[in-house]
Structure 1
Amino acid sequence: MSRLILNRRRLLGLGAAGAGSLVLAGCDQFDFLGARNDPVRNFLERANQLTYSAQRALVGEQALAKEFSESEIRQGQRPNGSTDPRNIELYRDLEASGFAAYKLRIIGLVETPKEYSLAELQNMPARTQITRHDCVEGWSCIAKWTGVPLSRLLDEAKVQPTAKFVVYHCYDQMGGGLSAPEAYYTSSDLIDAFHPQTIAAFGLNGAALPVANGAPVRIRIERALGYKQPKYVHTIELVDSFAKFGMGQGGYWEDHGYDWYGGI
């Protein structure tokens, strides 16, 4: 029964994300997804909250995503979303120096804001996991990820009791064309942030993380869909609400109609 419910949860997540992509493509029949007070959109958001609560109750906070053997890695990790933020001068300069000047910042509702170089992250105790990346476009890919458990970094920063969410700020931008480019960001709750498989990944399949896959650091939240795995992350911010970010929905794609939770 639990497998049936969880499969249904994944279907709902994929459906909401797919409808969101139709909004971006200009399909008029899905305009309600972009209207914050539309009753149909409000109904879908309530359904998302229900499935989020149901999955938390059924799966548990610390349940692990399935891990695989190296023999099950069939190909390189397929890039998704933005694959080259070199149009951003700061990122281009960092890449040119081999990310020697890169800093990952932990800010917001923490007692001790932190800043880590890539070398410092690489010298911390790391976790390696072979997991499956599931994209809303319908494909999946098994890969080996290496990085620092995010819980370690958050523990060092000492998260304040008022914090409810973690916002991940990235170097890449989305949009363009008729709309101005928007800085990419997404978010998670503290449960996913402190999950043992959530890592600040700097390695992929035994090598340094490539630019197309999010170098120098990508957050892996293994119990979530691909758009919740932010690339090119430079700042992790602890907050009590999303009100001051974008359209207040917790992420770039979330602002454009995708489900906030994005859980699998």
Structure 2
Amino acid sequence: MQTTNLNRSEVERLVREVLTQKLRGGPTAREQHARQPSQAGGPPHPLVVNVSARHMHVKQEHLEILFGPGAKLTKLKDLYQQGEFASEQLVTVVGPRQRIIPNVRILGPMRDYTQIELSYTDGIYLGIDLPLRISGNHKDTPGCTILGPKGSLTIDKGVIRAERHVHMSTEDMSYYGVKDGDYMKLKIDGPCGVTFDRLKVRYHPKVVLEVHIDTDEGNACDLESATHMELIK
């Protein structure tokens, strides 16, 4: 059996690379696969599918209630879309059954509304009948109580199950032949392969092509084991 001797500097370099990837939320297997260069005539950007775990968006007024006057979000790591990040701030969500879900992370940047995004399973556990909505649509949505280290607040709306969606730029929409608000299918091959229907197209000129599904959906298809992913009009 052959052995390879690494000198100290080489070991330190490898350790730094691993730590840097962890701290930055390095690419998962599905992202590494998706980031392979596109073939000639293929889609303009690689497809990335990410699970959007339960989280909170918050406006400044509510952040200060939960974390104290003058509170600001502090970045833990960047997310896939430029300018978006997971913060170090965590809250506890309390449902009408007095059941709680702790350690719900706040995502930045700041919003002009407060919103909690949960999975269907989370809603059953908390006793909240979650409506399926695109982020920001809070009409006729339920509320909940939120606990922070410096205070608590009860919102009367803004708790949703996020509708699965794909972020697209102008170039992406042109390639796939869709427009903002259209629905597509997401086909995932693998040991637990599935095809998700009603994947909503969300347009922004500066976004990177990315699909968001929730935790229940990610578990159903065992996303980490996916061998191929495809958007279908």
TM-score interval w.r.t. the shorter chain?
under 0.3
Higher RCO (CA < 8 A, seq sep 6+): 1
* Structure (1/2) with the larger strand percentage: 2
More helix by share: 1
- What TM-score, normalized to structure 2? 0.25
Larger radius of gyration: 2
